[in-house]
Amino acid sequence: MAPEPNTFEARRRANVVNNAKLLKDSAEVAAKMRRAAAPPPRPAASKKRKQAEPAPRTRVMPTRQSARLAGGGGDTTVKLEDIPAELKMPEPKRIRVRGDLQLSNLQVEGQRWSSTSALASFVQGAQPGVRTFTEEDIKDTSDTKLKDLRKEMGDLKLYEGWVPNDIKITPERVYALTFHPIQDKPIILAGDKKGTLGFFDASQETPNISSDEDDLSVDIPLPQVGAFEVHSRTISSIKVPMFDPNSVITSSYDSSIRCLDLQSQVSSQVWQPDDDEVDMGISCIDISPEAKDTIIFSTLFGSLGRIDRRTKNKVEMWNLSENKIGGFSLNPLLPHLVATASLDRTLKVWDLRMIKGKGDLRHPALLGEHSSRLSVSHASWSRGGYLATSSYDDTVKLYDMTDAMKWKPGQDLSDKQMTPAHTIPHNNQTGRWVTILKPHWQANPTDGVEKFAIGNMNRFVDIYNSEGTQLGQLDGEGITAVPAVAEFHPTLNWVAGGTASGKLCLWM
């Protein structure tokens, strides 16, 4: 029989049981704390389905059959309509075309589409090199005097010293041109867009090149040309008075009029506005030999001015139009008569002997006017009293005013007197890059025949008499641009024309 445990042993066993119970309780508490701190469990991810690979597309081919076995013969030609749609090549997409299109390159093929007659009546542009006056016109002339005159104009030849492309008289486009009145040699003056005044002496020694030399191997010297920047903007007019051949009077869009003394070679100011801020762009000037000290000028703003050179800086100004006065002229023998051509589509004749109104409303007496369908570019008065105008309605009009000597101051002209005696069809559509075509009469022709020159858009210069009859059409090899600014020598049958590139054409 086992001995009974003493008190110490009994207490030890009780401690062992208590400690075991404490450890068990501590373990349970720790487990609860771990579960409380742990994140919530994530839902189980669904398994990704494996996508089935697409079945390769197979082209449906037509079932081949033997035409021979089917009894169809040996012809294997396949018609287009028999080909399945899925086998036909897709039609290319029609793409929009950009830019300008020339109809001559777009004509539909086929005889039934080849006619262009429906559009021919609308074509009014220039046709370089296409003559509108030929030798046949001269041969068919029945009037002996007219025929001889036409032959004389036809005999004028293009200057042979240099080709026109080598005679660059100004750096920019020619706006004004004239001959020096000297008869010993042809001297031409031209003014350009930037205010440069150019001089060319056609009597200078020309290069001597034999005909058997290769043109490509010869270095041809250029002609001697003088050019001077006398204005800051476009030179609109050049006048060399026959009564004062040492003076060259020029006007400009820079609102100034200057006089170049050829002997002292000094360009002096004749007139300009007192205020440098004032811009009135002078479009034209004219001087009459009957009133040597008086200069008449027009402006781009519709005004007409009169300057007496003996009283400097004193000018009379009259507002004649709300639109630009593109050109005007004085009657050479009756300098009190002024003809103006304006953007308002009118030709007007004024009498400087009678000034009406007061203050800013003062103006010369208006004798008569004639309206055109489109703007009138210039009015030019001949020594014999004929008035020539050019306008954008593609006409050159001639007015018979030979009885002007009988007009009283301020006399009203009848509609009949202001009706053109002759109307000449003439292409005046210069566009943006060609100087406006203007008629200019020969000032004092030695042969006694009144005639004027005007540029032709087909790269010629046309010559007409006071009856509207064409006397000639000047041409020549090497003319590559329109000689838009054309003038006669004051007395001799020499003609010069300036182009948009500053080149000079000269006929003698």
pLDDT digit string (tens) for 338-353?
999 999 999 999 999 9
Q: Nearest Cα to 441, choosing from 396, 479, 391?
A: 396
Amino acid at 322: E
DSSP 226-256: EEEE--SS-EEEEE--TT-TTEEEEEETTS-
- Tell me the three-class secondary structure of 372-412, residue by residue: CCCCEEEEEECCCCEEEEEECCCEEEEEECCCHHHCCCCCC
Q: Nearest Cα to 488, choosing from 461, 467, 456?
A: 461
Largest Cα span, the chain = 184
In this prediction, residues 90-100 reach a mean pLDDT of: 65
For the cut 80, the answer to whether the pLDDT of residue 418 exceeds it is yes
For the cut 60, the answer to whether the pLDDT of residue 216 exceeds it is no
pLDDT at 206: 87
In this prediction, residues 406-416 reach a mean pLDDT of: 95
- 423 DSSP β-pair partners: 397
SS3 12: helix
Kindly report which listed range (22-31, 393-402, 428-437) carries the lowest average pLDDT score: 22-31
Q: How many percent of the chain have pLDDT more than 90?
A: 62
Select the more confidently predicted residue: 272 or 398. Answer: 398
For the cut 70, the answer to whether the pLDDT of residue 152 exceeds it is yes
Amino acid at 299: T
pLDDT category, 199, cuts 50, 70, 90?
very high
Encoded tokens for 458 = 């087909």
For the cut 80, the answer to whether the pLDDT of residue 214 exceeds it is no
Highest mean pLDDT, choosing among 7-16, 188-197, 202-211: 188-197
Select the more confidently predicted residue: 341 or 69. Answer: 341
pLDDT category, 401, cuts 50, 70, 90?
very high
Q: What is the mean pLDDT of the chain?
A: 85
For the cut 70, the answer to whether the pLDDT of residue 55 exceeds it is no
What's the rounded Cα separation, in Å, for the pair 267 and 244?
Answer: 15
Query: Using one digit for the tens of pLDDT, what is the confidence trace for 363-391?
Result: 999 999 999 999 999 999 999 999 999 99
SS3 8: helix
SS3 306: strand
Select the more confidently predicted residue: 8 or 77. Answer: 8
Highest mean pLDDT, choosing among 212-216, 290-294, 464-468: 464-468
In this prediction, residues 174-179 reach a mean pLDDT of: 97
In this prediction, residues 169-188 reach a mean pLDDT of: 96
For the cut 60, the answer to whether the pLDDT of residue 48 exceeds it is no
For the cut 90, the answer to whether the pLDDT of residue 303 exceeds it is yes
pLDDT category, 93, cuts 50, 70, 90?
low
Query: Using one digit for the tens of pLDDT, what is the confidence trace for 219-271?
Result: 788 999 999 999 999 999 999 999 999 999 999 999 999 999 999 999 999 99
Amino acid at 184: D
Amino acid at 434: V
Q: What is the pTM of this model?
A: 0.75
For the cut 60, the answer to whether the pLDDT of residue 215 exceeds it is no
For the cut 50, the answer to whether the pLDDT of residue 122 exceeds it is no
